[in-house]
Structure 1
């Protein structure tokens, strides 16, 4: 029962649409009507500016950190599934008519939190983040870098956690579900990359 409550709490925390809140409160703008329409840090940055984008990313990361920190007081298994629920809430927020972001910031919040509370090993964050930076530098696509980071994370977790106990299986399954979620949420970006119309960054 405690695990189920943690998962529900994780979903509710994930549903907090900070891009929408910051946009409306400080900029009087509903960013769902501009850019890609997504409630994420990337779109917030493009529509509202760098400061707003960074603020959204920080808060989106912190909501996952809070969710997993609370859940790991119950168990590591509760922590991993609560983190996933938080990311699902971010993508399909009950407080924003189920129209959210693409789980990039929350994915890194997930990796940051699990590296601290579950694994006590920074490599679980540094490996996918390193992949993100390399792909971003080479191709200039945030979407592609995010998907590659998610895949690298799941492969790394699978390689190090492979086992036949409940905890290992839960961590691996939740990790791959996270990767599937990130890729699914970027399906339109994949089509744009194929067509050569995907937005690229200019600051790197």
Structure 2
């Protein structure tokens, strides 16, 4: 069953909402514009604020739905199912394995884990506030996402979450930082794009 839960999470995470919303409502393939990334930031940059927010919310809900459904049967498996959603979002089978960078999915993971596993909403709230504060001052979603991913792991350690949750969060942080390699170079060079539509 564990493999089926992981497969479910991966397939759910593979739904490219930026691509779907772009093509259905705007007749635009966001992969051909901006950064070419299938995430909320690029969707907002290419399609506008409403589309960007819609993509962010839907990408987060993918993780919330997966963790909630699987937690009804196996709480431990739900954690890894959530991680599988993030992997699916980054490497979606429905979009030639070229997806987003899992920032929104990470917050969906933290939100669901806080409610259904850890039972401590601060494990979501603190990283989210760190993200918003960093975004306010830097205007860089990439930097804010990486800061939040590391903060989330530290929070889970501080609040003494189960080891499996901490490991999953750490792996997610590694995934997010890895997906932002290009952004890290731009940040160091002072050429990183700053968000104007948020």
- The TM-score bracket by the shorter chain reads over 0.9
Q: Give the Å deviation of 1:30.
A: 0.7
Q: Sort the Cα spacing of 1:203 and 1:54 in 2 relative to 1 into closer, same or farther, 3 A.
A: closer
Instruction: Tell me the secondary structure at the aligned position of residue 194 of structure 1.
Output: helix
Partner of 1:61: 60
Q: Give the Å deviation of 1:142.
A: 1.1
Q: Give the Å deviation of 1:68.
A: 0.4
Conserved? CA contact 1:92–1:99, under 8 Å: yes
Q: Which moved more, 1:178-187 or 1:71-80?
A: 71-80
Q: TM-score, normalised by structure 2?
A: 0.96
Partner of 1:185: 179
**Aligned counterparts of 2:127 and 2:75: Cα–Cα separation in 1:** 21
Q: Give the Å deviation of 1:75.
A: 2.0
**Aligned counterparts of 1:56 and 1:69: Cα–Cα separation in 2:** 20
Q: Give the Å deviation of 1:200.
A: 1.4
Partner of 1:147: 146
Instruction: Tell me the secondary structure at the aligned position of residue 155 of structure 2.
Output: helix
Q: Which moved more, 1:20-29 or 1:153-162?
A: 153-162
Partner of 2:191: 197
Conserved? CA contact 2:61–2:108, under 8 Å: yes
Q: Give the Å deviation of 1:161.
A: 2.3
Q: Which segments of structure 1 move beyond 3 Å, counting only runs of 4 or more? A: none
Alignment of 1:113-132 (within 5 A): 113-132=112-131
Instruction: Tell me the secondary structure at the aligned position of residue 36 of structure 2.
Output: coil
Instruction: Tell me the secondary structure at the aligned position of residue 98 of structure 2.
Output: coil
Per-residue CA deviations over 1:126-151 (Å, capped at 9, x if unaligned) read: 01011111211222211101100000
5+ long unaligned stretches in structure 2: none
Per-residue CA deviations over 1:14-58 (Å, capped at 9, x if unaligned) read: 000000011111111111111000100000000001111111111
Per-residue CA deviations over 1:164-188 (Å, capped at 9, x if unaligned) read: xxxx221111110000011111110
**Aligned counterparts of 2:36 and 2:118: Cα–Cα separation in 1:** 35
Conserved? CA contact 1:111–1:124, under 8 Å: yes
**Aligned counterparts of 2:31 and 2:197: Cα–Cα separation in 1:** 24
Q: CA RMSD in A?
A: 1.2
Instruction: Tell me the secondary structure at the aligned position of residue 159 of structure 2.
Output: helix
Q: Give the Å deviation of 1:203.
A: 6.3
